[in-house]
Structure 1
Amino acid sequence: MKLKCAILDDYQKVALDLADWSSISEKVDVTAFHQHFNHEDELIEVLQDFDIIAIMRERTPFQKSLFAHLPKLKLLVTTGMRNAAIDLEAAKEHHVTVCGTASDSAPPTELAWGLILNLARQITQENLTLRNNGPWQISVGEDLCGKRLGLIGLGKIGSKMARIAQAFGMEVTAWSQNLTTERTGPLGVQKAASLEELLQNSDYVSIHLVLSDRTRNLITLRELEHMKPSAYLINTSRGPIVNQDDLIHALEKGLIAGAGLDVFEIEPLDEDHPFRTLPNVLATPHLGYVTRGNYSKYYHETLEDIQAYLSGSPIRKLF
């Protein structure tokens, strides 16, 4: 009898075209789901007969209660090698193997710069005005050259952000809890003495940290109040790193000039969420990693994980 594999959150309906699923068709039937399931009871109803599930990192939480209602589940594959939305202890308890895929740091870097450039030059607003036959030029853009980019996190993505900023003629400062001058020096990046110092002195603050207990709510109203009123906050990392209610308050009160956001506490956003309508928010629906190249790599490696599991030698295990 064949195993059943579910691919979740295939919004663009591309999953079945980006890997050779026929290579496992003798052993596994693969089904792709294009809609997002908002509630756990929906997931339980849909997934209870599946042996293998492939998920996009942190789109769909897999907590203890969900594992308990999926008795047939044996293999869970996620994008990336970290997923804060998976209860790994519960997976162990229910004898579910959890595997990941390698990630590419280029796509989210490119999107972060797309947000920065758009905010600096008001590209979206100018385009909409032009399309609607409105006034010719409605804004005066900001120069990036000579401005300061503050990076919260200087890993793979943060390092790429720094090099691009320098190409624009920007100064770059970085901070994270364990950052050293040995890391910042070779990159030509100034190490901020504290998060407060970075926020006070930066014109654009871009977050590039993984979500963990110590980074959750790292940015609250207290931190936002340290930023310049002319500064922008960019978050293409994880929504809960910034306290959502505090950010909304700061944006409504004009404590900062605006925000470029690709990640949110709950996704998809509610239809009436303030981030959809605040005039000083440039928001995209978690597109950071959504490129053809990255998706091809993800689904190819998902298939590799499944093949390895079927052969009895799982690879890229998360525990």
Structure 2
Amino acid sequence: MKTIPSPDNLLAFDALARAGSFTAAADLLDCHKSLVSARVKALERELGAVLVLRSTRKVALTEAGERLRPHAARLRETMAQARMAVDQTQSDLAGPLTISTTSSLAQYVLGPALSEMAALYPELQLSLQVNNRLQDPVADVLDFCLRSARSHTVHDESLVARLAGYASENLYASPAYLARHPAIRQPSDLAAHRLLVMESEQRDGLLLKKGEQLLRQPVGAQLYLNDYPLRADLALTGHGITLLADYAVARHLQSGELVRVLPDWHCDYWPIYLVHPFRTPLSRKYQTFIDFVLPRVAAALPDNRAQPDSDGRASNTR
């Protein structure tokens, strides 16, 4: 099997063919002339042919060298075009960006930020994938994921997780629902109410926290829901009490459409991360997205206790 010629050796030969001497070729390549000589000799060994006739003052190409010359020139041009293509990708603020997040974060947090960004940067092609499944940006070919992280950790060292802030989850209901049902003064009163929760929350009981006090409150549920927007809609129309993140209820609390149930008790608290593959250096498009979206995500989280530019780890979605 014949040896495939080294690109570095072909580029050295191309520089020699263009410059006419080893010294001038070294100047073109910004290296020592001994390196040019060594690479041309290596190329002759790889191809099994004499390419250059050397003299004390100048070099001349053999017939084989003349036939090789245009191919070496095309390699140089291809390499230059490859560099230009990558440089353009790194510097352009255009083209596709694919982002994944959960249904609740898409509706209440990320969607408005992306809409604003699309209007400001019309050359970008922003694609938002809504998926409550934990996604891997590398395996799923995504540029960014906005994740809720219940376990507070990320296990994949190939990812960068930038901490946007924190969210909390608590119990909410509409005033109309609460007016029609018994008063709720303590966690045990929940047993007499209709809860709209996930199956795991019903099975394990609701974890409630008050200062240092923790308890698992058993609840009964007829309807299991793992989608925040649907939970919010049902709670707003008086169908029961549900768990919602603070970012999902902010405007409903302000309008009085929902009220907090057991306000002294908290249910959960977790960080939210903007996750992307580990890439250095970041392209202009990537860096612009991070600089634009991260502070807006942070501002949309009412219980934000994080610095938007800090790094962290994440692992789970909600």
| Structure in which a larger fraction of residues adopt helix | 2
Point out the structure with max Rg over C-alpha. Answer: 2
| Structure in which a larger fraction of residues adopt strand | 2
Bin of the TM-score, shorter chain as denominator length: 0.3 to 0.5
TM-score by length of 1: 0.32
